[in-house]
Structure 1
């Protein structure tokens, strides 16, 4: 695989973290947390802003969940994923992804892969296993390590955005965005994979984000605006579904990035699940920066 090919693969694989948000996917249902006790209980009994403040706190405090969903980023990728993530201190956990369309899937097929990727998120790095076919091009090592500190050096401003998303794309970010927008409405009661949920919707206009309603300080709001701005996001439609325990069970986001239109649908379930993960064996791992240097030396 050429150096440019590995660079493109690295960009796409690190971008996938948006969905664990982002990142950037999750399943319906939940297992912890108490409801808002006003009226009949749960988020349905209070105003949208008050309800979402409780949802943000409960979801943030739950720390972990099973995740599954789908993300489309313009012509770059269509990817499905599932796994378990912990956000008690940044993002850690393991996910399995399948690239089914876009230039990323095409590049993986040309390189001999089938679009399947196993991923591990640790505090300092993201690890990707692209299978046996691509391991043949990395000296037989299955795992590629992408150090978060290296992303800025490799990709500049876009690397800064990806680094932040990989480390901080927690499920409650969508709730915080709606709170900061001030544009939130209750759509109604719906079923999400058999679970009764309250649907909220709003449009996030980056230029109009305000700390008035947000669960964010002035500095946090400034950083949040900068993150969206670097990604080229000006407006974003966000829909969330919340169960009777004030926990997020589904999130849908759509908008426009510098690289094209994006949309994602993510489901959350089994809150509080153990999602610990270890780095792959060093003997089966190659660092992306070393791989880049090796490829560059071979091409010169």
Structure 2
């Protein structure tokens, strides 16, 4: 029972970490800066916000580094029309949490986002401890009890590219740094620092405050179609410094996510209750 409790506690922590995986640090952009010709920041960002939201889907490659606790990469598709849905393959690449996961036989995990819950395929070692069930279901309402009371459903919604553009619009020092080529696409690079107290999205502001964040630096690259190509976010939290980088492509890609079979799915809250583990 003790080992099962450790496993579920680790799964609880990783639920929140996986929720914010929409990042990938795949190298520096090829630079071709012509700062004087860059569009004015705020009007250009407002146009990009509208264009990105209208696209409704995209492919994302991602990585997240959270101090010495965890580093991971993710690859998949996201849709943000009428709520968030999508499917990502998450690989745990380093950190103490990843070492714990490897000890339990997990180095990679499939994650699915649906309207009712977030689903994680944890592998055969997990299944052996949960009556043969491979999938773990995190209901969004139950996730509110994790991460110091933060609404992790809101955190999941913040993985969409439009959220990054909206966040930079709240920066008091946003500026255009010039033209750069990123992933073979001509882009304009924008940068700024966002004070948490200035964030206009109340759900996002609360999540950042609950994590002990006071400010966040953000860089984004917008292409000639006014779509987000890349973002880099750097934040200091109570759990250490977090760096997230995301590359977006294939806007408009078809996203069809199926709910895992009920017979192969265990409910996270039920398992916590059975193990006597308190997630808060």
* Local SS of the residue matching 1:2: helix
Question: How far 1:25 moved relative to its partner?
Answer: 5.0
Question: How far 1:179 moved relative to its partner?
Answer: 0.8
Match among 2, 6, 17 for residue 15 of structure 1:
17
* Local SS of the residue matching 2:144: helix
- Cα deviation, 1:49-97, whole Å, max 9, x if unaligned, reads 1100001111111110000021011222100000000011221010000
Question: How far 1:168 moved relative to its partner?
Answer: 4.4
- Cα deviation, 1:125-182, whole Å, max 9, x if unaligned, reads 00001222322122111100011111224x3x63433232124432111111111113
- Pair 1:133-2:113 in alignment: no
* Local SS of the residue matching 1:75: coil
**Structure 1 residues 167, 174: closer, same or farther in 2, change over 3 A?**
closer
Q: TM-score scaled to structure 1, two decimals?
A: 0.82
Q: How many residue pairs were aligned?
A: 266
Which residue is 2:5 aligned to? Answer: 3
- Pair 1:192-2:185 in alignment: no
- State the distance in 1 between where 2:158 and 2:222 align: 21
* Local SS of the residue matching 2:150: helix
**Structure 1 residues 8, 53: closer, same or farther in 2, change over 3 A?**
same
- State the distance in 2 between where 1:229 and 1:3 align: 29
- Does structure 2 retain, via aligned residues, the 8 Å contact 1:15–1:162? no
Q: How does 1:1-300 map to 2 (within 5 A)?
A: 1-20=3-22, 25=24, 46-113=39-106, 115-153=107-145, 155=146, 158-207=148-197, 209=198, 220-296=200-276
Note the residue ranges of structure 1 that are not aligned, 5 or more in a row: 28-43, 211-219
* Local SS of the residue matching 1:135: helix
**Structure 1 residues 62, 17: closer, same or farther in 2, change over 3 A?**
same
Note the residue ranges of structure 2 that are not aligned, 5 or more in a row: 27-36
- RMSD (Å) for aligned C-alpha atoms: 2.1
- State the distance in 2 between where 1:151 and 1:130 align: 17
* Local SS of the residue matching 1:88: coil
Structure 1 stretches of at least 4 aligned residues deviating more than 4 Å after TM superposition: 24-27
- State the distance in 1 between where 2:276 and 2:193 align: 44
Q: TM-score scaled to structure 2, two decimals?
A: 0.88
- State the distance in 2 between where 1:251 and 1:80 align: 15
**Structure 1 residues 149, 228: closer, same or farther in 2, change over 3 A?**
same
- State the distance in 1 between where 2:78 and 2:130 align: 28
- Cα deviation, 1:218-268, whole Å, max 9, x if unaligned, reads xx5444322321121111110001111000010000011111100011000
- Does structure 1 retain, via aligned residues, the 8 Å contact 2:60–2:248? yes
